[in-house]
Amino acid sequence: MADLENPRPITIDDAPWVELTDGIELRMLRQFSEAGGYSAMFRFAPGTVLPKHQHLGCVHAYTLAGRWRYLEYDWIAEPGSYIFEPPGSVHTLAVPNDSEPVVILFIIEAGLVLVADDGAPLSVWDTRAMMELYANGLEALRMSTGEYTRDR
């Protein structure tokens, strides 16, 4: 369990980047509870386009590097940009081909649902699913998730 009385920094050795798939890396920082949400950093390669998805809870996104956008909107987030997404928002994250790699700090409540173009649900990526993806990535690096990621 996380030591909330004596907080400490989470280092790159504590929570390394793991590759989820080509062009998408994850650094899991903290899990709020099994279904409650998580904080994590994502790194996306230039040209990456995520599947369209709908958020089940609020999302806070802070851009640390690179440029990205949602295909459904006309803005582009750059380093220093903060985005708030209300529950139910639906969008498709895309990184321009001419961007440097994008790094975003996300605080995600509940999770998200991948949706088809017609809005039909395809799969749910909740806190448990993301923790499993990260654990699998760490296992590939021959590491363990450690207690710093949990707060229950």
pTM equals 0.86
Structural domain includes residue 11: no
Structural domain includes residue 102: yes
Structural domain includes residue 40: yes
Q: Domain of 100?
A: 24-149
Structural domain includes residue 129: yes
Q: How far is CA 146 from CA 45, 77, 151, in A?
A: 27, 32, 12
Mean pLDDT by 10 residues, the chain (152 residues): 67 88 93 81 97 94 98 97 96 97 96 90 89 89 56 40
Number of domains observed in the structure of the chain: 1
Structural domain includes residue 2: no
Structural domain includes residue 16: no
Structural domain includes residue 138: yes
Structural domain includes residue 92: yes
CATH number at residue 137: 2.60.120.10
Do 110 and 130 contact (CB within 8 A), yes or no? Answer: no
pLDDT given at position 29: 92
